Amino acid sequence: MTVWKILSERENEIVIGTDQSTPVGMCFRSPSPRRSRKVPGMAAASRSRARNRLPSCDQPRCSAGTKPGRIGGVSVQLNHTIVSCRDQQRSAAFLTGILGLPPARRFGHFLVVEADNGVSLDFAETGRDIAFQHYAFLVSEEEFDASFGRIQHQELPYWADPGKTQRGAVNHRDGGRGLYFEDPDGHLLEIITRPYGSG
């Protein structure tokens, strides 16, 4: 029987193998538990998260044939993305405040905001020009109402379309609701209640 060892680990990442010289794969701990949410199209993601467990000795999730740095037996999932900003505290607090997420946590030189599916946005300060990016968040109807209320309370401009031609309007794509707004650095954020193509 192969004895699997944890060779290295950090926040949510575990590298396993048989000894220090032969790492065979990388696995991930399941995300920290969050409040239950019922969002259309999220059932498959929930089932996938339930499979993300540290492998047992009898059934290692990362097999000997798995290349180092690969996840064995698990579908490909987005883990994190880096968001360039001028002020980490301001940008992270803006996002968590609008979406009602837990406060950002420090990881190295990043401020990390984690969504409920375990994907994180890692805010990194830069003095260089910022290339504006787009980030879309799937939320429940109740969370949409709450986030929309915060946007209105702060008198932030919002649009029904990514081209920002329909100011002050909400779209109803796929039978849900959606809108776009900007963060302090000009990144275009979006909240939707239905995944694209689900209507």
106 vs 102: CA distance, rounded Å: 13
pLDDT at position 199 is: 83
> Residue 68 pLDDT > 80, yes or no?
no
Concatenating the DSSP letter of every residue in 16-84 gives EESSTT-EEEEEEPPPPP------TT-HHHHHHHHH--PPPSSS-SS-TTSPTTPPSSS-----EEEEE
For 81, residues 6+ apart whose C-beta sits below 8 A from its C-beta are 119, 120, 121, 122, 135
Calculate the CA 158 to chain-centre distance: 22
With bands split at pLDDT 50, 70 and 90, how would you rate the model's confidence at 74?
confident
Residue 119 phi/psi, 5-degree rounding, is: -75, 135
Report how far Cα 11 is from the mean position of its chain's Cα atoms: 15
Q: Is the confidence at residue 73, as pLDDT, over 60? A: yes
pLDDT tens for each residue of 14-30: 444 434 433 434 434 34
| Residue pLDDT, tens place only, 77-109 | 999 999 999 999 999 999 999 999 999 999 999
pLDDT digits (tens, 9 = 90+) for 175-199: 999 999 999 999 999 999 999 999 8
Which two structure tokens, joined as six digits, stand for 113? 């905001």
Placement of tokens 């300060």 in the chain: 125
Q: Which domains does the chain have, with CATH numbers?
A: 1-73 (no CATH), 80-192 (3.10.180.10)
